[in-house]
Amino acid sequence: MPRIETEDGRTVEAPVIHLNGSHPDRLEEDFTEIRHALIAAFDKLATSGPNQRDYYVLAPEAEARRAWEAAVAEHRARLDTLNKLIADFEALQRHASDAAERRRQSIIPSRAMLEIVK
């Protein structure tokens, strides 16, 4: 299986695109839709982070600070996870798009082939 590199330098396993497998146009469509859904989730999560006013009522103050810091760290970790998933599906989308383009180019007859057919 091919491994492809993401924008952030990690690698992900990519499907082997061949004539008996999934059509690269379909894969590209699926990966694009998934990436768009992940971006929407990221945008929503980014605007729905923890608010300190929801933690300050904890007593003692040290517990409130610990809870707030933990909530912020967990929120950042969720955003980081979504960012990685977005990068994964962007790389997979690019992989499928490149394969689709190669397939299109391989089935377009050249001028020389068209002359032979005449």
Residue 95 in contact with residue 3, Cβ under 8 Å?
no
pLDDT in tens, 88-99: 999 999 999 999
Amino acid letter, residue 109: P
pLDDT of residue 13: 96
Domain limits, the chain: 3-117
The pTM of the whole model exceeds 0.85: no
Rounded Cα gap, residues 96 and 89, in angstroms? 10
Q: Which residue has the higher pLDDT, 39 or 104?
A: 39
